Amino acid sequence: MTQSAVPPAVSIAPAEPDTPGVICNLVARHGAEWVDETSLDAWMSGAGDRVLLLAGDPVRFPEGLDVAVVLPEVQRALGGRFSIGVARRSAEAAVARHFGSNRWPSLVFVRDGSYVHTLPGMHDWDDFVTRVHEALALPPSRIPGIGIAVVSADAGASCAS
């Protein structure tokens, strides 16, 4: 496959030097795509359900490595219903901010370009499969933390300065 034949959402650049092997395996063996700030919109706009792994620093959040190992198994258990993206280590903080995510690890669910849900943490197998299945059934929604604060015109005296 030539570079020009690669869809714009697919990052063909190799893993960063500090990327753990189990995360690299998601791309090399399980068809996941590298995602960073420049490819995020294109990756999100791909068709169907997509799950983005925000693994976090493997020293501070070793369960991110567990999620990386289990995620392809969950994908298989759910009949391949979703494709996988992996945020590059250098882009994780910016990508997490984009989705209003502040927990590591997290799985961000998107569908046809729209945000759906974020599932933080590692879970027992049955619970993990159930939560992913439930997330895949949710309708698209507003990204948490994005928007305009709502202020009431009649806030009352307790809010007056």
- Look-up: residue for tokens 């792994």? 53
Question: Using an 8 Å Cβ cutoff, are 92 and 105 in contact?
Answer: no
Domain ranges within the chain, ordered by starting residue: 3-159
Higher-pLDDT residue of 159 and 66 is 66
Q: Is it the case that residue 147 has pLDDT exceeding 90?
A: no
Q: What are phi and psi of 144, to 5 degrees?
A: -60, 140
Closest CA to 105 of 90, 117, 118: 118
Q: Which residue has the tokens 């995510």?
A: 101
> How does 56-68 read in b/e, with b if 16+ C-beta sit within 10 Å?
bebeebebbbbbb
**Given a cut of 90, is residue 15 above it in pLDDT?**
no
Q: Which residue has the higher pLDDT, 149 or 46?
A: 46
- Residue scoring higher pLDDT (110 or 19): 110
Q: Residue 36: which pLDDT band, with cuts at 50, 70 and 90?
A: very high
pLDDT at 11: 44
DSSP single-letter state for residue 16: P
CATH number of 3-159: 3.40.30.10
Burial 17-30 (b: 16+ CB within 10 A, else e): eebbeebbebbeeb
pLDDT of 2 > 50? The answer is: no
Alpha-carbon gap, residue 38 to 25, rounded angstroms:
22
pLDDT digit string, tens, across residues 102-130: 999 999 999 999 999 999 999 999 999 99
The token pair at 41 is 């919109």
Is the pLDDT score of 74 beyond 80?
Answer: yes
